[in-house]
């Protein structure tokens, strides 16, 4: 195999810029969707609306105290979702790796990012796609379900949106994979990820590029 590209997650400024832009767009769209959801819920099923938010305006409510408790609920849900996010990565890292593979966890506080890493393990393209996208499709609906179960559906929806903004890095990896169909394997590294292609495919692609240059 030959390395076709790599992403230094914490140092690649272009990647970080795209990730920030993706997170921002996700937050704006998600916030709008949450507001629409809150309005529909308040009109159609008012008894299911977040009790803590209702308490802000109700005569028997606690006003700002209820609002602070609602914010605290969102904050706790966000922290738990981010921890669960990395745990889900770790579960799939282990599932697709040889027996005895060690998965480590860490944080880059400068970038405000948590991470799980199975350093040195090479995964197939399809395996890495599953690893990258698993938290998006597993953790997000669980956060929404937790909101419903706790009687705070709007808080759950908003916490889920905040979790999705933290999935931008994973989506960046997926974008790299989709942009290059010749990538067949991915190696998880301490700095990010390295993408590989089979030598024959890479040589054929290089020959086509050279032919285009000559023409």
Report which DSSP code applies to 98.
P
127-131 average pLDDT score: 97
**Confidence band, pLDDT 50/70/90 cuts, at residue 50:** confident
Mean pLDDT computed over 20-32: 98
Cα 14 off chain centre by: 18
115-132: burial string, b at 16+ Cβ within 10 Å, e else: bbbbeebbbebebbbebb
Sequence ranges of the domains in the chain: 2-49+82-214
**What pTM was estimated for this model as a whole?**
0.87
pLDDT tier for residue 215 given thresholds of 50, 70 and 90: very low
Assign 214 a pLDDT band (cuts: 50, 70, 90).
Answer: very low
Q: How far is CA 173 from the centre of its chain?
A: 11
Q: How many residues in the chain?
A: 215
Average pLDDT on 37-53 reads: 89
Residue 179 zone, left/alpha/beta (φ > 0; ψ -120 to 50; rest)? alpha
pLDDT at 201 over 50: no
49: which DSSP letter? Answer: S
198 pLDDT tier (thresholds 50, 70, 90): confident
Which spans in 96-198 are helix H?
125-149, 153-165, 168-179
The predicted-structure confidence for 152-195, as pLDDT tens digits, reads as follows 999 999 999 999 999 999 999 999 999 999 999 999 988 899 99
């Amino acid at each position: 195999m030959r390395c076709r590209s790599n992403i230094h997650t914490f140092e690649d400024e272009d990647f970080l810029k795209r990730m920030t832009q993706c997170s921002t767009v996700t937050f704006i769209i998600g916030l709008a969707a949450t507001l629409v959801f809150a309005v529909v819920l308040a009109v159609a099923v008012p008894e299911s609306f977040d009790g803590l938010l209702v308490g802000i305006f109700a005569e028997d409510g606690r006003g700002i105290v209820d609002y602070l408790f609602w914010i605290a609920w969102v904050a706790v849900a966000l922290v738990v979702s981010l921890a669960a996010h990395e745990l889900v990565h770790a579960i799939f890292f282990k599932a697709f790796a040889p027996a005895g593979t060690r998965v480590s966890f860490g944080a880059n506080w400068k970038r405000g990012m948590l991470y799980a890493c199975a350093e040195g393990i090479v995964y197939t393209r399809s395996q890495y796609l599953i690893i990258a996208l698993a938290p998006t499709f597993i953790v997000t609906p669980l956060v929404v379900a937790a909101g419903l179960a706790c009687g705070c559906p709007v808080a759950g929806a908003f916490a889920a949106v905040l979790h999705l903004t933290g999935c931008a890095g994973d989506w960046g990896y997926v974008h790299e994979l989709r942009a290059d169909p010749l990538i067949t394997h991915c190696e998880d590294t301490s700095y990010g990820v390295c993408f590989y292609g089979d030598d024959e495919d890479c040589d054929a692609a290089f020959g086509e590029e050279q032919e285009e240059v000559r023409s």
